[in-house]
């Protein structure tokens, strides 16, 4: 569906004719002219405008000419000429555009419909934004009111970031596009730990109008055994799996770089579990490698991961369990010797594309007592709202 404000009557560009004038043009008027703006991050200054219309399949076609005007009180002027049924106008767009077809004799057709560039088609800005510090990443979520208020006009969200100074409480002047998403959530990854960043979200309409930004949020990635993001298999299989401990060097000893590994969700023989979507849109956890079982720790949400102080006796089962925010799950795993290994997770967030969890692991073979992060430093989520 295309939304458009219809231009003023094309009498402003029609040319009177009589029997003494040159022959009529050989081509019909172009049909179905529409446009898309190029978002820039500044709602008041798009990068440009793209015009599209139906191609005229006629051997007499020579070119198309694009006319525009900056205000509704001035005449149209020639903006450019193209052989394609599209046109790119860089910079701040004019108010109104129309297109004509030019035949091999140089005669112009009647004008197409005109389009009016009108900022009143802009969507609402997201009402709020939240963030969670992760290891080398920041998880962002925000209000979905731009989509909810006008779902037929919504195209996508745009996620921007800049540096942030803790000393001054100000964001840097240079903002970059982190990515786009249809969902009101985004994982900004590949970020250096300890380097604060600001984040802002805009909503883009199907015409390319960019909304005002959400409130600005500042946060800092950090090493952590809490707030580990695992994607769903359907969204990104390469980060949909998890292994509590993998003896990478084969020495039988637990090292920090062998703990809490986010892995491919398709490598089921080497992961303890993977995450996938449920048919209802939620998420579910499925056990992986042979010898790994899972049990729900309690029939209700638990206050913190530390509530799981000792692994239950079982029984542990292989298969799938629903991922529910606040609930704890305990895993019993085979390490290739006579002793079982135990790990636990507490799910803190469930989205369409990710879950976020805290994890713990007991490095002492056969010991069911569980410690957060197996002794790795942990911390709680952080983040502040700042001025742009």
pLDDT at 379 over 60: no
CA dihedral 299→304→310→314, nearest 10 degrees, is: 20
> Looking at residue 315, what DSSP letter applies?
-
- Structural domains of the chain, with CATH: 5-121 (2.60.40.10), 129-223 (2.60.40.10), 228-371 (no CATH)
- Mean pLDDT, residues 32-50: 95
Contact by Cβ (8 Å): 287, 323: no
pLDDT single digits (tens) 173-229: 999 999 999 999 999 999 988 889 999 999 999 999 999 999 999 998 876 688 999
> Looking at residue 235, what DSSP letter applies?
T
* pLDDT score for 209: 96
Q: Among 116, 73, 56, which residue's Cα sits nearest to residue 65?
A: 56
| 360: helix, strand or coil | strand
* pLDDT score for 8: 45
pLDDT single digits (tens) 76-89: 999 999 999 999 99
- Mean pLDDT, residues 331-356: 94
Taking the C-alpha atoms of residue 276 and residue 327, their distance in angstroms, rounded to an integer, is 17
Taking the C-alpha atoms of residue 206 and residue 273, their distance in angstroms, rounded to an integer, is 39
pLDDT single digits (tens) 286-321: 999 999 999 999 999 999 887 887 899 989 999 999
Residues pairing with 347 in the sheet: 357
pLDDT single digits (tens) 99-150: 999 999 999 999 999 999 998 899 999 999 998 878 788 999 999 999 999 9
- Mean pLDDT, residues 46-51: 96
- Mean pLDDT, residues 34-47: 95
What stretch of H or E contains 177?
Answer: strand 176-181
Give the mean pLDDT of the chain. 90
pLDDT single digits (tens) 264-288: 999 999 999 999 999 888 999 999 9
pLDDT single digits (tens) 149-164: 999 999 999 999 999 9
Pairing of strands 48-52, 96-103: unpaired
Taking the C-alpha atoms of residue 90 and residue 39, their distance in angstroms, rounded to an integer, is 12
pTM: 0.70
- Mean pLDDT, residues 9-25: 54
């Amino acid at each position: 569906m295309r939304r458009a404000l219809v231009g003023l009557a094309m009498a402003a560009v029609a040319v009177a004719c009589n029997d003494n004038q040159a022959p009529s043009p050989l081509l019909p008027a172009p049909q179905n002219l529409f446009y898309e703006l190029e978002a820039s991050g500044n709602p008041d200054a798009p990068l440009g405008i793209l015009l599209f219309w139906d191609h005229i399949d006629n051997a007499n076609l020579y070119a198309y000419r694009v006319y525009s005007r900056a205000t509704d009180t001035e005449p149209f002027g020639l903006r450019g000429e193209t052989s394609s049924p599209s046109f790119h106008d860089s910079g701040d767009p004019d108010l109104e555009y129309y297109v004509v077809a030019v035949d091999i004799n140089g005669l112009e057709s009647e004008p197409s419909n005109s389009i009016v560039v009108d900022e009143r088609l802009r969507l609402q800005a997201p009402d709020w934004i939240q963030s969670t510090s992760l290891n080398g990443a920041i998880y962002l979520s925000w209000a979905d009111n731009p989509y909810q208020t006008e779902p037929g006009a919504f195209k996508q969200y745009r996620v921007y970031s800049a540096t942030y100074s803790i000393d001054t409480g100000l964001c840097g002047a240079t903002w970059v596009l982190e990515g786009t998403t249809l969902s009101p959530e985004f994982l900004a990854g590949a970020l250096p730990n300890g380097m604060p960043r600001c984040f802002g979200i805009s909503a883009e309409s199907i015409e390319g109008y960019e909304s005002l930004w959400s409130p600005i949020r500042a946060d800092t990635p950090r090493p952590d055994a809490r707030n580990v993001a695992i994607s769903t298999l359907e969204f990104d299989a390469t980060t949909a799996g998890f292994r509590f401990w993998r003896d990478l060097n084969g020495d039988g000893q637990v090292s920090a770089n062998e703990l809490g590994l986010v892995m491919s969700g398709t490598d089921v023989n080497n992961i303890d579990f993977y995450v996938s979507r449920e048919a209802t849109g939620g998420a579910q956890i499925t056990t992986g490698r042979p010898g790994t079982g899972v049990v729900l720790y309690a029939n209700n949400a638990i206050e913190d991961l530390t509530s799981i102080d000792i692994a239950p006796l079982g029984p542990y089962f292989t298969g799938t369990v629903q991922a529910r925010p606040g609930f704890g799950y305990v895993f019993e795993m085979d390490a290739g010797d006579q002793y079982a290994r135990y790990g636990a997770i507490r799910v803190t967030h469930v989205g369409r594309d990710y879950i976020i969890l805290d994890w713990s692991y007991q490095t002492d073979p056969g010991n069911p007592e569980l410690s957060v992060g197996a002794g790795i430093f942990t911390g709680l989520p952080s983040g502040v709202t700042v001025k742009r």
